[in-house]
Structure 1
Amino acid sequence: MTAVLRPGLVGEELVDLTRRLGEPARDLVILAEGNTSEMIDDDRIVVKASGSSMRDAQPEAFVCVDLAPLVELLRDPDADQARLTAELTAGEADGREVRASIETLVHVAVRAVAPVRYVAHTHPTDVVALLSSTNAEQAFAEPVYTDELMTLGRPLYVPYAVPGMNLGRVFLERLEAYQHAHGELPSLVLLGNHGIVAISETAAGAESISLMAVKSARVRSGAHAFGGLAPLTGTEHYFDRPDFASRRAELAGKGE
Structure 2
Amino acid sequence: MTAQLRRELVTDDLLGLTRRLGLPERDLVILAEGNTSELIDDDTIIIKASGSSMETATIDDFVAVSFRELLAIVRNPDATQDDLTAALSTPTGTRASIESLVHVATRAFGVRRFVAHTHPTDVVSLVASTEAATAFAEPVYSEEFMILGRSLYVPYAEPGIELGRLVLSAMEGYVAEHNDIPSLILLGNHGIIAISDTVAGAEAISLMAVKSARVRLGARIAGGVATLSSETTAEYFNRPDFRDRRAHLAGTEGA
After TM superposition, the score normalised by the length of structure 1 is 0.97
CA contact (8 A) 1:220 1:229 kept: yes
Aligned equivalents of 2:101 and 2:250: distance in 1? 23
Tell me how far 1:59 sits from its aligned partner: 1.1
Aligned equivalents of 1:86 and 1:56: distance in 2? 26
Decide which of 129, 135, 148 is 1:133's aligned counterpart. 129
Q: Which residue of 2 aligns with 1:208?
A: 204
SS of aligned partner of 2:133: helix
CA contact (8 A) 1:38 1:119 kept: yes
1:120-199 correspondence to structure 2 within 5 Å? 120-199=116-195
Task: Give the AA of the match of 1:231.
Answer: T
User: Is the aligned partner of 1:217 residue 2:213?
Assistant: yes
How many aligned positions are there? 252
Decide which of 222, 228, 247 is 2:245's aligned counterpart. 247
Provide structure 1 residue ranges, at least 5 long, that are not aligned to the other structure.
none
Q: Deviations 1:96-145 (Å, cap 9, x if unpaired)?
A: x2000000000011222112100000000000000000000000000000
Aligned equivalents of 1:16 and 1:179: distance in 2? 30
Tell me how far 1:12 sits from its aligned partner: 0.4
Q: Deviations 1:68-91 (Å, cap 9, x if unpaired)?
A: 111111100000101100110012
SS of aligned partner of 1:65: strand
Q: Deviations 1:188-210 (Å, cap 9, x if unpaired)?
A: 00000000000000000000000
Runs of 4+ in 1 over 2 A off after TM superposition: none
SS of aligned partner of 1:99: coil
Task: Give the AA of the match of 2:20.
Answer: R
Task: Give the AA of the match of 2:48.
Answer: K
SS of aligned partner of 1:121: strand
Identical columns (%): 62
CA contact (8 A) 1:2 1:69 kept: no
Decide which of 107, 111, 116 is 2:112's aligned counterpart. 116
Provide structure 2 residue ranges, at least 5 long, that are not aligned to the other structure.
none
Q: Deviations 1:171-202 (Å, cap 9, x if unpaired)?
A: 00001111111111000000000000000000
After TM superposition, the score normalised by the length of structure 2 is 0.97
SS of aligned partner of 1:90: coil
Tell me how far 1:2 sits from its aligned partner: 2.8
Tell me how far 1:4 sits from its aligned partner: 0.6
Aligned equivalents of 2:180 and 2:225: distance in 1? 28
Tell me how far 1:67 sits from its aligned partner: 1.0
SS of aligned partner of 1:196: strand
User: Is the aligned partner of 1:40 residue 2:51?
Assistant: no
Aligned equivalents of 2:67 and 2:139: distance in 1? 34
SS of aligned partner of 1:2: coil
SS of aligned partner of 2:115: strand
Q: Which residue of 2 aligns with 1:69?
A: 69
Q: Which residue of 1 aligns with 2:98?
A: 102
